[in-house]
Amino acid sequence: MVITAQKPAQEIIDILKLNGYNKIFLIGCGECATVCKTGGEAEVKKMKDVLGENGLIITGFAIPQAPCIASQVKIELAKNMKALREAEAILVLACGLGVQSIKDNDRLDLAVIPGCNTQFLGVVDAKGNLYEKCSTCGECVLGWACGICPITLCAKGLLNGPCGGMNKGKCEVDKNKDCAWVLIYKELQKQKNLSEFKRTKPPRDFTKMLHPQSKIFVNE
pLDDT tens for 59-86 read: 999 999 999 999 999 999 999 999 999 9
The three state secondary structure string of 98-131 is: HHHHHHHHCCCCCEEEECEEEEEEEEECCCCCEE
Predicted pLDDT at 51: 98
> Average pLDDT, stretch 143-168?
95
* Residue 11 CB neighbour total at 10 angstroms: 12
Domain containing residue 6: CATH number:
3.40.50.2300
Q: Do 155 and 110 belong together in one domain?
A: no
DSSP state of 177: S
Q: Do 21 and 95 belong together in one domain?
A: yes
> Average pLDDT, stretch 100-124?
96
Assigned domain for 45 exists: yes
Provide the whole-model pTM: 0.87
> Average pLDDT, stretch 82-111?
97
Is residue 141 within 8 A of residue 184, CB to CB? The reply is: no
Assigned domain for 210 exists: no
Supply the range of the domain harboring residue 27.
Answer: 2-119
Whether 220 has a pLDDT exceeding 60, the answer reads no
Assigned domain for 79 exists: yes
Assigned domain for 217 exists: no
pLDDT digits (tens, 9 = 90+) for 14-34: 999 999 999 999 999 999 999
